Chains A and B, each alone.
Chain A
Amino acid sequence: MEKGYSIKSKPIYGTLVWQDHAMHHVVIAEGEGGKALLKLFQQKLPREPLSVLYLAADPQAEKYATTVQKIINEPVTIKDSQAELLNALKATLDSCYMGTQFYVAGTEGFIWKVAAVLRDAGVDDKNVFKELCGSLGRRLYCVHCKTTNENVHHNIHVCTGCGRHLIVREHFSRLMGAYMGFMIDAEVPGEIPAAEEIYP
């Protein structure tokens, strides 16, 4: 990696912190994001109406879910598939107005799937608080065959759509929630460096 190099389109994630002026808080998390949820509730239990949606698809996540429920003493929407969680989120949005603050914690792929649902409802992703948790695996969009590859951990990845060796670039599309992947041996076919696992 080049020193000092960073690119504007690449999202920077923070730590979830309550927005004091919000009239309603909606917190959406998955997997390891459960820990961000717990950290958030350690700051305080807000006075304003609160909706919590959590995707728990493994035993560790279920543990987080149980703890969260104990702490907040309010019903938490828990789902075990992403599709169901996103549907529950859409249903929740029907009762949200301006002044609602959204918080998302989870992997990058999850964060941007949630952001896409929120965007359809008119929420600008700049106003959504995001915390990156769990795997650093990237979603990779192949610019050649337009396949989106999930959970890419290596800097060079064989596209599941077209079999090309793609180099994972830093260019990120917020609309697609994915990094751009370009064929690495376009100039000298077959010249492919060894892949390194840099997004564990």
Chain B
Amino acid sequence: MSLLNVKVTAVEQITEQVKQFTFELEDGGKLPYFSGGSHVVVAMDIDGRIHRNAYSLMGPTSDNERYTIAVRKQEQSRGGSVFMHEQVKPGTRLQITPPTNLFAINKLAKKHILVAGGIGITPFMSQISDLNRLGYPYELHYAYRSADQAAFRDQLEKLCGDKVHFYVDDEGRRMNFTELLIQQPLGSHIYVCGPNTMVNSLVLMAKQMGWPDNAVHSEKFLAPATGEPFVVSLSLSETEVMVPGEMSMLEALEEAGIDAPYLCRGGACGRCELEVVDCDGELIHHDVYLSDAEKISANKIMPCVSRANCSRMVVNL
């Protein structure tokens, strides 16, 4: 994948845990245009190891001079967000992938209902710029834990006016999914981004209330799970790669210099799919791409988030 060389031109503290970063091309040219809901993957060199995290682009989609992303510091994570918070300063040089969109609005929808939890607000920032420009009807529901964690609230009030609704957990103002889903006009589409539990329960509720699957869009921030180390053997290139416990299979392959495909790095798009030829243990699927039947049949794996409890796995690569 061809990467873009960028430099950080601004870092802004948004809330105690959230920082916003602005990137421009290192040589000052124009960045590729993107559509609302797009993300880029940022490559970080952490002590000689390349770490890659996906972040949504937040800026207005009309701006191709700079990209902005927001990163929430996850203390328990494997270091990507901590690195962004602690090491990345104005002037830092980074590599990013060109934008890809796995969370685009459906332009045929009659109404768009956007639901964000916490840092899950980020993809909606650029979607809103699209929706405002196109004049499409929408409403945004944004839940966060407490008033001091209300990232981008002022900006949203300005951008969305009375279309935005805030829900503050510790003030007891909770989102009621049934209310969001009931009596919405035909042709509505709903988009949800936030913590796993929130996304899962909204998707389930929509199904139970008769919403068709293709009107329900979701994005989760799945961090690759850690686990036991194992060896991946690549049948086509006749190489063996050791996957350490704290690294994903995809990361281990990349580290070994193998150009493995990926897009979302979150188990959602299916791009990284590998065929499992053999495995002397059990596959542990964490993705949301494969169907349950495919997971059981155990001959495919999404190495960006999934791994195995085994000593050796053979894949067709």
Contact = CB atoms under 8 A, between A and B. Distances in A.
B212 A124 contact: yes
B1 interface: no
Interface stretch (B157-165, B179-187, B249-257): B179-187
B291 interface: no
Contacts of A7: none
A126 B214 contact: yes
Contacts of B184: 97-98
Contacts of A21: 207-210
B258 interface: no
Contacts of A127: 212, 214-215
Contacts of B188: 98, 122
A100 interface: yes
Select the residue from B109, B185, B214 with max chain A CB neighbours within 10 A. Answer: B185
Which of A19, A21, A121 has the most B CB atoms < 10 Å from its CB?
A21
B137 to A, nearest CB: 11
B181 A98 contact: yes
B109 A23 contact: no
Determine the main DSSP class of B at the interface with A: loop
A122 B212 CA distance: 12
Contacts, number: 54
A92 to B, nearest CB: 11
Given A23-B210, A101-B210, A121 B181 contact: no
A93 interface: yes
Nearest to A124: B214
Nearest to B215: A98
A162 interface: no
Chain A interface residue number, banded? 10 to 19
Interface in B38-56: none
A171 B108 CA distance: 23
A110 B91 CA distance: 64
B209 A122 contact: no
A98 B207 contact: no
B221 interface: no
Contacts of A22: 210
Interface string B167-198: 00000000000000111111110000000000
A99 B210 contact: yes
A96 B211 CA distance: 13
A122 B211 CA distance: 13
Contacts of B110: 121-122
A23 B212 CA distance: 12
A124 B209 CA distance: 17
B210 to A, nearest CB: 4
Contact of B185 (A23, A98, A101, A126): A98
A72 interface: no
Please name the 5 residue pairs, one residue from A and one from B, whose CB atoms are nearest each other, closest first.
Answer: A122-B187, A99-B210, A122-B110, A127-B212, A22-B210
11 contacts: A19-B210, A23-B209, A23-B210, A98-B184, A98-B209, A99-B210, A101-B210, A122-B186, A122-B187, A122-B188, A127-B215
Given A98-B209, A121-B187, 14 more contacts: A21-B209, A23-B210, A24-B210, A96-B186, A98-B181, A98-B188, A99-B210, A122-B108, A122-B109, A122-B187, A122-B188, A123-B186, A126-B212, A127-B212
